[in-house]
A = this chain, B = another copy of it.
Amino acid sequence: MNSFVYDIPVKVYFGENQLGHLGQELRKFGRRVLLTYGGGSIKRNGLYDRVIEELRGAEMEVFELSGIEPNPRIESVRKGAEMCKEHGIDVLLAVGGGSTIDATKFMAAGACVDHDPWEFFGAGAKPIERALPIVTILTLSATGSEMDAGGVISNLATQDKLGRMAPAMLPKVSFLDPTLTYSVSAYQTACGAADIMSHIMEVYFNTNKDLFMLDSVMESLLKTVVKFAPVAVAEPENYEARANLMWASSWAINGFINGGRKKAWSCHPMEHELSAVYDITHGLGLAILTPRWMEYCLDESNVDRYVSFGVNVFGIDSKLEPMAIARESIKRLSEFFFSTLGLKSTFTEVGIKREDFAQMARKACRYGDIKGFKTLTPEDVERIYEMCL
C-alpha cells in the first residue's frame, strides 16, 4: 500500500486575466499552433477573439480545427493529427472542455506516429511514447483533462468509447479562468459536478486502503462540489462558486488523490457504454448510475466507507447505526443530483432501453470483470443498469 510516483508537471495559470501569458507560454514551443475547439460558443462569447489577439501578439502562425464533438470522435482526432503533420505544427492549443482537450491529446500523439490514432485504443493498443506539446484553455469544469494525462474517444462505427492514458499527453500549461465558465448552462454545470464527484468517488470507494490524508482531502473536494455546484447553477456568474468548482475538478483526477490505490474504477466504464451507444452527457450518465452502484455494492464488509462518506461529506449524524448512515448517504447523494441539481434520475427519462443492457454490460467488462470497490461481472453490471430504469 501507498507506494506511488507523484509527477504532475503541469503549469496552471488560475484566475481572471491570466490569458496575457498565453503568447509567451506558446512561444516556448515554437511558432506554428493548431487551435482546436468545439462548437461556436467561443466565437459567440468573445473568447475566440481574445485568443486570436494573443496569438497574433505573439506572432504565432495559427491553424484551426473546430467542430470537436461532445464525446469526441476518432474522426476529429484523425483530422487533427493529419493537420499537425501537414503543417508542421509545433504546439496544440485546445480551447474548451474535456471533449476538446481529450481529442487534442490524441491529435498530439497521433501527429508523432504513422498509424491510425484508433490503434492507440483497445486490446493490443499501440504505445504512446511521444506527443506534441499541448496547452489548454478550459471552459468547463468537469473532466479534469486540463491537468491529467488521459482522454476518452468515441468510435461510433464500432460503438466503442475508450480511454487511454500516457504521460506524454499531459498538458504543458493550462489556463483556468473561472469567468470562462459563466456561460456554461445550469444543465452542463450540474453534469460537470456529477463528473467531478464521480472522479473522486471512484477512488474514495476503494478497498485498496491508502493514506488517511488523501481520504480526508477527497472529502474536502467532495464538500466543495456539494457546496458550490448549486450556487453555480443558481448564479452562473458567481466567481467564488465557479472558481472552487474549477480547481476542484482538476484535483479530482490529476492523480494526487490516488496515492498508491490501484483498484479499477466502476461507474466510468459502466457509463462509457451508455455514451457510446446513446451519446448522452457523460456526467448525467454518472449521476444516474452512481447511487444505484453504491446501493448494489453496500454490505456489512464495506459499510464503513459509506459511513465516512455520509458523515464527512454530507454531515450525517455519526451516532446513527452504520447501515442507517450508509443508506442515508445514498439518499442524500441522490437528492443532491436529482433534486438540488435537477438532473434526470432514470434511464427511462433519458431514453436508454433495457434491450441494450446485455450488450453494454458485456462491453463494459471487455477487459474482464470490473475489479473495483466490489468486483462486477457483466451480470452485476446488467443488474445495476436495471436499477436505473
Contact assessment for A243 and B4 in the assembled complex, using a CB-CB cutoff below 8 Å? no
A3 within 8 A of B: yes
Distance in Å from the Cβ of A231 to the closest Cβ of chain B? Answer: 11
The verdict on A6 contacting B12 (CB below 8 Å), with A211-B244, A219-B220, A220-B213 known, is yes
Question: Binary interface profile of A, 256-269, with partner B (CB < 8 Å = 1, else 0)?
Answer: 00011000000000
A interface size (C-beta, 8 A): 37
Contact assessment for B212 and A228 in the assembled complex, using a CB-CB cutoff below 8 Å? yes
Contact assessment for A211 and B247 in the assembled complex, using a CB-CB cutoff below 8 Å? yes
Name the B residues within 8 Å of A17 (CB-CB): 3
Distance in Å from the Cβ of A34 to the closest Cβ of chain B? Answer: 24
A45 within 8 A of B: no
Distance in Å from the Cβ of A84 to the closest Cβ of chain B? Answer: 25
A372 within 8 A of B: no
Q: Which residue of B lies closest to A241 (CB)?
A: B212
Name the B residues within 8 Å of A59 (CB-CB): none
Contact assessment for A6 and B15 in the assembled complex, using a CB-CB cutoff below 8 Å? no
Question: Binary interface profile of A, 125-164, with partner B (CB < 8 Å = 1, else 0)?
Answer: 0000000000000000000000000000000000000000
Contact assessment for B14 and A3 in the assembled complex, using a CB-CB cutoff below 8 Å? yes
Contact assessment for A224 and B220 in the assembled complex, using a CB-CB cutoff below 8 Å? no
Question: Binary interface profile of A, 5-17, with partner B (CB < 8 Å = 1, else 0)?
Answer: 1111101111111
Nearest 6 pairs between A and B by C-beta? A3-B15, A9-B9, A216-B220, A6-B12, A213-B224, A7-B11
5 contacts between A and B (CB under 8 A): A2-B14, A5-B11, A213-B251, A216-B220, A220-B220
